[in-house]
Chains A and B, each alone.
Chain A
Amino acid sequence: MKKQVDAITKQVIADSLEAICREMSRVVERTSVHPLFQELHDYSTGIFYFDGTEVHLVARATALPAHIFGSLLAVRALVEEFAGDINDGDMFLLNDPYYGGSHQADFTMMRAVSLDDRSMIFPSVRAHMSDFGGVVPGGYNPDARDIWQEGYRIPPVRLHEAGELRSDVWNLVLANSRLGDTFEGDMLAIVGGCNVGAREVGRLIEKYEPQGVANGITYILNYAAERFRAEVSRWPDGVYTGERFLDHDSAGNRDLKVAAAVTVDGDRLSIDLSGSSPQSPGYISSVPGTTISNAMLSVCVVLPDDIPPNSGALSQIEVIAPEGSVVNPLAPAPVMFSTTAIGYEVADAVMKAFEGIAPERVGEPGLGFCLCTTFGKDARFDDDLYFTLDFGSSLVSAGGAYGTDGWGAWPASVSALVLANVEMQELQYPLTFDIYEYADNACGAGRWRGVPGFFMQRSVGGQHPAYVNLTEEGDRHPMPGYVGGHAGASSYAILRPGTDRAERITESVAEAELMPGESLLTFKGGGGGWGSPLEREPALVRDDVLDGYVSVEIARDVYGVVLIADSDGKLEVDGQGTEALRSA
């Protein structure tokens, strides 16, 4: 009788921990202030377990994967820094990349819940904060050459001591943001998330006793480890390589390489990034938290969805990132852009290696991020400072995958990011959007094609100039295709399009001034394709032509599909012509 109750109880506890992460996520979502949180969901919640020796990620809520795997290192840094001096009710904060953070924008809040003498549980929230001082509002400074030029650095610090706020330390952190009220609202939101997590974990401990909860945690970690090993052992042994280049580092260096060698050996998996470029002066080198998160991202895409992405599974993967490289730089290298570029290049390189392991599960995992932040003053609202991170400049990236075309905006793996609406942005910022839609004839071709490319054009309204920080990637190295699929189109931006001051940007520009009425146009090339375009269903090619995603010429030249107009003038597939062309 005893035995079976235990097995089920452990699962019930594991399920409850997942539910607590979701509750925390709801609190953060609904109490935060800046649209980066509220509308875009650029935050993650998780529950970590310190067993007295090692820190484990136990559960996470649907959120940005790049955040929460990295948070593991944050909790580890916390435990190392404060060894022996962490008490129930303490709340800790950090954002420093070289202390387990990713980039300074990502604040990690962790609250300690004592389980017993040795072990603790840490409900934690990692969130992208709107502004944290530094040279450029929002922190994305394409000109940064050291980390102090990016923003305020926070090592692990104690904000609450046994539940009591240390108000002077709190105010000190607040003083280093330009967006006082907004920033404080967001800080309160992530504190609130941790508090709710701690309260609910406390209830669980009350109900099941510390030992019961610890057993539940061990159970779910072991379970994931077992599932993971079973999956890996089904993969063919061998060493598989992939590589991916980043256009530039925003400091004049081009074609930065990430090389991945993935080794499958029985039920073991290792990822070696040793062939990657040396660290770069620009703001793209990624600290281990970011590198590992992005490598894990690809692994999670390839794995079956129902393996919980916790430490049980992820600790089975060995990631080697050599010091002094773009995937593990030495301080004080600037890193602000690296969570996405070179982060997603890491994910892509690893994914490329998986082409040889599980071809039907590979595809684009990332964003291929192009940065565009804008700030200025809003004359409508007492010249308040506003700051936006435009995801419109980085739409789209979803690639073709086995069985489906790329669709929507970004792949499922980054779908925790929800885009702001155009109307909401225009209400909140003095900007007017002119174009916000897919481009014609700009998809990565394939048996399943990528999502079409995307144009955003918006002009500055009001009476004040706006300042734009841009870093474009994907001009030289657009979104890659997989398993024979073609790459997406190249990305670019144009400042003041259609005027004699038009300026095409394929790398970086800092604080470009746009006067009222002037616009910014960005084009993001679409996702890459999967498989050879010659294998695409001709009827689907015809549909794409009707929808404007593929021209009749591209249909013929790239897909080998011949389309002819029938007597009503409607396009039909010429079956014989297509067959002839495809077999030629």
Chain B
Amino acid sequence: MSEARYAVGVDVGGTFTDLVALTADGRTLVAKVPSTPGDQSVGVVNGLQDLAGREKLDLPEFLGSCGYLVHGTTVATNIMLEFNGARTGVITTKGFRDIIDIRRNYKETDFDIRLPPPTPIAPRRVRKAVEERVDYAGGVLIPLNEDDVARAVDELKTFDIESVAVCYLFSFLNPSHELRTREIILEIDPTMHVSLSHEVLPRVREFERFSTTLVDAYVTPGLSRYLHQLEDKLRGLNFSGDLFVMAANGGMVSVEQGSRQGVQLVLSGPAGGIVAGVEVGKITGIKDIITIDMGGTSFDTCLISDWTPTVAGDSWLSRYRIAIPTLDIHPIGAGGGSIASVDEAGRLRVGPESAGAIPGPACYGRGGHLPAVTDADVCLGLIGTSSFLGGAMKLDRDAALEAVETHVAKGLGLDVTEAAAGIVRMVNNNMANGIREVSMKRGHDPRDFALVAFGGAGPVHAGRLAEQLGVQTVLIPRGQASVLSAFGDVLSDVRISKARGFYARSSRVDVAELNRLLEATVADAMAEIEGISVEGTRIDVSFEMHYKLQTHEIMVPADAEGGHMTEAGFAATLDRFHDIHERLYTFKKPGQEVELLGIQVDLWGLRTRPSISTGATSSNEDPYVGTRAVYFEELGGFKDDTPVVAGLRLEVGAGIHGPAIVEEPHTTIVVAPSMSLSVTDELVYTLAVEV
């Protein structure tokens, strides 16, 4: 490989594939090309071609000098959204083959008994039971009946099954039966993909583990094909650097690892944005932040404490439980596309229905006639009609007004402005309630945090949200808004997460035994990072703990320097558990027995970051590009001459007092009368909110 001059992040979205390249000499290159849903790699290569062109290189030359490439891909996510994964079967413990269908009685509605079941990935006919049983202590109660396994595989083959999830009870404490089952399956059919529950999620709770394993078995074959094709394609184009993919835990993993365990990528979509959000916090020195990502159809929030995003294991996708540790991103059902409606008794509702991208809000002029939040924003002048997507798309304000008039204002007996303002207030209130709920769940008061707002609509609403939450500071990424995820991708570190089941009560924990498990786990993780060029590594160990008889675990950072635990370290970890419990749940019980349910080792492969600057260097052009009428509640209506400022023309250090609108090609910042905006850094705006 010639000298590494570029690091590239590629993020594939539904419409566009975004690319960011950081150059060795500190520049940032950005490209945006249409996504190619049939084969995402086509779009990826097109984008790389675009970047190469900017450097006046041909593609092989450019790729030849790429040190590494980080890919955020939605291939796995799309399989789960479209249900076009592998033909998947299940082999499970006899007597327990319906765990997936019973699904702990989870149903996604309060009273509607007509809600249909989730789309079946593996109906009962392809769930085969075999005789075997491991007990709560990892002992073998019933040995594995190998004939049962062979028979199960033969039966599955009559259904053309190509992927098998092996799900045995307590396999996380004793994996021997699952391991042997894989051997037997591969003896019979070496082409079969096999996911073992103890490898996918070595944790207690069979429903969560089985469901996650089933999803893994379902998505991995397709994802693996895609990643290998992409790698082959890039290698063929002279790429010899490291190729990584973004995982849902907010770190990146090698292609090999990603294609072995696809479930890690299923919820990786928002990860790049969160990594970028952390970077924004780091630039400004603010450690506790809540990110709000408000796009066309979604509003996601993630709580970041001390520059560390919360990681949790309580996600669902397409009604399947995915319990691997993922960034704790909470969808809150409102976005720019959320539709407003008024029912027969005159109640205004915003969402949960969304206009999506097609037909989209009425103002898109793509056939949508129902008023979405974006329409209300356009009615109020918060979003301009000619600056959307950098001017690439003109918005139809008349259509927006008509939609709000017809479907909201009439029903409420209001004029169209009042109705639009009502829609915006309501959606802001719902979002604020959602953020408050998420913070409280983690034991935090949102007022102690700064918001980091991104996504097309995030900065439009962020100031008002902050007001409602009592938050004083909103940070908004500057210049990168349209490619923020790709930007985050290229900044991420390698993160290999390994969990192991370990059950003991605190008074009976054998620290020596614990260390043996830790060492083995660290060794596993180390084996995976081998061959990847990293500048340094860090090992984080955490324990899953709860008080005796509790069933919600807390992830407690453990005092295990380099992956080794001492008696004193264990005592200190127990103390930390009590303290965290108190923060989260208002009380602690230091005298009470604590249960340890599992360990997690996070091996970080740390990379040196190129220094960053933006393409958004300010020019000498006048930032004030005009005025438009914008509605501000506290001014009692429209302010006709609200200044409109081109954000990228502002100098670092410049400040704007509200009321004003600051526009970038891909986003709009609303600065209300009591707020002020300053350019803190080339990469960050700070919106100060009076509370």
User: Taking beta carbons and an 8 Å cutoff, which residues of A are in contact with B?
Assistant: 1, 3-5, 7-8, 11-12, 15-16, 19, 22-23, 26-27, 29-31, 33-35, 38-39, 62, 65, 181-182, 185, 188, 192, 196, 223, 226-227, 230, 300-301, 303, 305-306, 309, 361, 363-365, 381, 395-396, 398-399, 401-405, 407-415, 417-424, 426-428, 432-438, 457, 543, 546-549
The answer, among A65, A185, A412, A436, for a CB contact under 8 Å with B95, is A436
Query: CB-CB contacts of B527-570 with A at 8 A, as 1s and 0s?
Result: 00000000000000000000111111000000000000000000
A26/B343 in contact, CB under 8 A: no
* Cα distance, A77 to B584, chains bound together (Å): 34
* Cα distance, A300 to B106, chains bound together (Å): 19
In the complex, chain B residues 370-422 whose Cβ is within 8 Å of any chain A Cβ: 412, 414-415, 418-419, 421-422
| Residue with the highest number of chain A CB atoms closer than 10 Å, among B105, B116, B421, B430 | B105
The answer, among B101, B136, B207, B436, for a CB contact under 8 Å with A427, is B136
A410/B105 in contact, CB under 8 A: yes
Q: Which residue of A lies closest to B116 (CB)?
A: A404
A305/B112 in contact, CB under 8 A: yes
The answer, among B96, B115, B135, for a CB contact under 8 Å with A432, is B135
Known interface pairs A424-B205, A424-B551; A30-B584 also in contact (CB < 8 Å)? yes
Query: CB-CB contacts of B110-127 with A at 8 A, as 1s and 0s?
Result: 111111110000011100
**Smallest Cβ distance from A396 to chain B, in angstroms?**
8
A422/B204 in contact, CB under 8 A: no
* Cα distance, A415 to B107, chains bound together (Å): 6
A12/B425 in contact, CB under 8 A: yes
Task: Jot down 6 A-B pairs with beta carbons below 8 A, ordered by A.
Answer: A4-B415, A365-B113, A412-B113, A418-B104, A423-B206, A548-B124
Known interface pairs A33-B547, A408-B103, A415-B107; A363-B113 also in contact (CB < 8 Å)? yes
Q: Does B283 contact A (CB under 8 A)?
A: no
Q: Which residue of B lies closest to A303 (CB)?
A: B111
A8/B206 in contact, CB under 8 A: no
B114/A404 in contact, CB under 8 A: yes
**Smallest Cβ distance from A286 to chain B, in angstroms?**
20
The 4 closest A-B pairs by CB, nearest first: A19-B433, A415-B107, A4-B418, A407-B117
A401/B584 in contact, CB under 8 A: no
With a cutoff of 8 Å between Cβ atoms, the chain A residues found around residue B419 in the complex are: 4
B110/A227 in contact, CB under 8 A: no
**Smallest Cβ distance from B257 to chain A, in angstroms?**
27
Q: Does B316 contact A (CB under 8 A)?
A: no
The answer, among B99, B440, B547, for a CB contact under 8 Å with A26, is B440
Q: Does B608 contact A (CB under 8 A)?
A: no
Q: Which residue of A lies closest to B633 (CB)?
A: A5
A305/B141 in contact, CB under 8 A: no
In the complex, chain B residues 167-184 whose Cβ is within 8 Å of any chain A Cβ: 169-170
Q: Does B347 contact A (CB under 8 A)?
A: yes
A403/B114 in contact, CB under 8 A: yes
A-contacting 9-mer, from B269-277, B585-593, B683-691? B585-593
B550/A196 in contact, CB under 8 A: no
Known interface pairs A11-B426, A33-B547, A412-B112; A423-B105 also in contact (CB < 8 Å)? no
Q: Does B639 contact A (CB under 8 A)?
A: no
* Cα distance, A77 to B101, chains bound together (Å): 42
**Smallest Cβ distance from A70 to chain B, in angstroms?**
16
Q: Does B98 contact A (CB under 8 A)?
A: yes
Known interface pairs A398-B113, A404-B116, A428-B549; A8-B441 also in contact (CB < 8 Å)? no
Q: Which residue of B lies closest to A26 (CB)?
A: B441
**Smallest Cβ distance from B422 to chain A, in angstroms?**
4
With a cutoff of 8 Å between Cβ atoms, the chain A residues found around residue B586 in the complex are: 27, 31, 188, 192
A409/B343 in contact, CB under 8 A: no
Q: A15-B433, A65-B110, A435-B95 are in contact. List 5 more A-B contacts (CB 8 A).
A: A301-B111, A361-B114, A434-B95, A546-B123, A549-B124
With a cutoff of 8 Å between Cβ atoms, the chain A residues found around residue B619 in the complex are: none
Q: Which residue of B lies closest to A302 (CB)?
A: B111
B552/A4 in contact, CB under 8 A: no
Report the interface size for chain B: residues with CB under 8 A from the other chain: 73
A546/B125 in contact, CB under 8 A: yes
In the complex, chain B residues 583-621 whose Cβ is within 8 Å of any chain A Cβ: 584-587, 589, 592
* Cα distance, A432 to B117, chains bound together (Å): 29
With a cutoff of 8 Å between Cβ atoms, the chain B residues found around residue A398 in the complex are: 113
* Cα distance, A427 to B205, chains bound together (Å): 10
Query: CB-CB contacts of B190-228 with A at 8 A, as 1s and 0s?
Result: 000000000000001111100000000000000000000
* Cα distance, A395 to B103, chains bound together (Å): 12
Q: Which residue of A lies closest to B429 (CB)?
A: A12
The answer, among A15, A196, A427, for a CB contact under 8 Å with B430, is A15
User: Taking beta carbons and an 8 Å cutoff, which residues of B are in contact with A?
Assistant: 95-99, 101-107, 109-117, 123-125, 135-136, 141, 169-170, 204-208, 343-349, 412, 414-415, 418-419, 421-422, 425-426, 429-430, 433-434, 436-437, 440-441, 503, 505, 547-552, 584-587, 589, 592, 636
With a cutoff of 8 Å between Cβ atoms, the chain B residues found around residue A420 in the complex are: 551
Q: Which residue of B lies closest to A404 (CB)?
A: B116
With a cutoff of 8 Å between Cβ atoms, the chain A residues found around residue B346 in the complex are: 223
Known interface pairs A15-B426, A413-B111, A438-B101; A423-B344 also in contact (CB < 8 Å)? no
A412/B115 in contact, CB under 8 A: yes
B113/A413 in contact, CB under 8 A: yes
Q: Which residue of B lies closest to A399 (CB)?
A: B113
A12/B414 in contact, CB under 8 A: no
Known interface pairs A30-B552, A419-B102; A230-B344 also in contact (CB < 8 Å)? yes
**Smallest Cβ distance from A448 to chain B, in angstroms?**
9
* Cα distance, A403 to B116, chains bound together (Å): 8
The answer, among A35, A364, A418, for a CB contact under 8 Å with B113, is A364
Known interface pairs A410-B105, A424-B551; A7-B422 also in contact (CB < 8 Å)? yes
A395/B102 in contact, CB under 8 A: yes
* Cα distance, A181 to B549, chains bound together (Å): 10
A8/B426 in contact, CB under 8 A: yes
B422/A408 in contact, CB under 8 A: no
The answer, among B115, B347, B505, for a CB contact under 8 Å with A223, is B347
**Smallest Cβ distance from A497 to chain B, in angstroms?**
13
A418/B114 in contact, CB under 8 A: no
* Cα distance, A404 to B141, chains bound together (Å): 39
B125/A423 in contact, CB under 8 A: no
With a cutoff of 8 Å between Cβ atoms, the chain A residues found around residue B97 in the complex are: 437
B505/A363 in contact, CB under 8 A: no
**Smallest Cβ distance from A420 to chain B, in angstroms?**
8
* Cα distance, A417 to B105, chains bound together (Å): 7
**Smallest Cβ distance from B214 to chain A, in angstroms?**
16
With a cutoff of 8 Å between Cβ atoms, the chain B residues found around residue A433 in the complex are: 95-96
B136/A426 in contact, CB under 8 A: yes
**Smallest Cβ distance from B505 to chain A, in angstroms?**
7
A402/B114 in contact, CB under 8 A: yes
**Smallest Cβ distance from B649 to chain A, in angstroms?**
36
* Cα distance, A381 to B507, chains bound together (Å): 11
A7/B412 in contact, CB under 8 A: yes
* Cα distance, A22 to B136, chains bound together (Å): 34
With a cutoff of 8 Å between Cβ atoms, the chain A residues found around residue B103 in the complex are: 408-409
**Smallest Cβ distance from B123 to chain A, in angstroms?**
6
B107/A412 in contact, CB under 8 A: yes
With a cutoff of 8 Å between Cβ atoms, the chain A residues found around residue B116 in the complex are: 403-404, 407
| Residue with the highest number of chain B CB atoms closer than 10 Å, among A65, A309, A415 | A415
With a cutoff of 8 Å between Cβ atoms, the chain B residues found around residue A309 in the complex are: 111
With a cutoff of 8 Å between Cβ atoms, the chain B residues found around residue A549 in the complex are: 124
**Smallest Cβ distance from A102 to chain B, in angstroms?**
19
A547/B206 in contact, CB under 8 A: no
* Cα distance, A487 to B116, chains bound together (Å): 20
Known interface pairs A227-B344, A363-B114; A19-B102 also in contact (CB < 8 Å)? no
A424/B204 in contact, CB under 8 A: yes
B436/A23 in contact, CB under 8 A: yes
* Cα distance, A409 to B102, chains bound together (Å): 5
B345/A227 in contact, CB under 8 A: yes
B552/A404 in contact, CB under 8 A: no
A415/B105 in contact, CB under 8 A: yes
The answer, among B105, B170, B204, B587, for a CB contact under 8 Å with A408, is B105
* Cα distance, A549 to B123, chains bound together (Å): 12
Q: Which residue of B lies closest to A307 (CB)?
A: B345
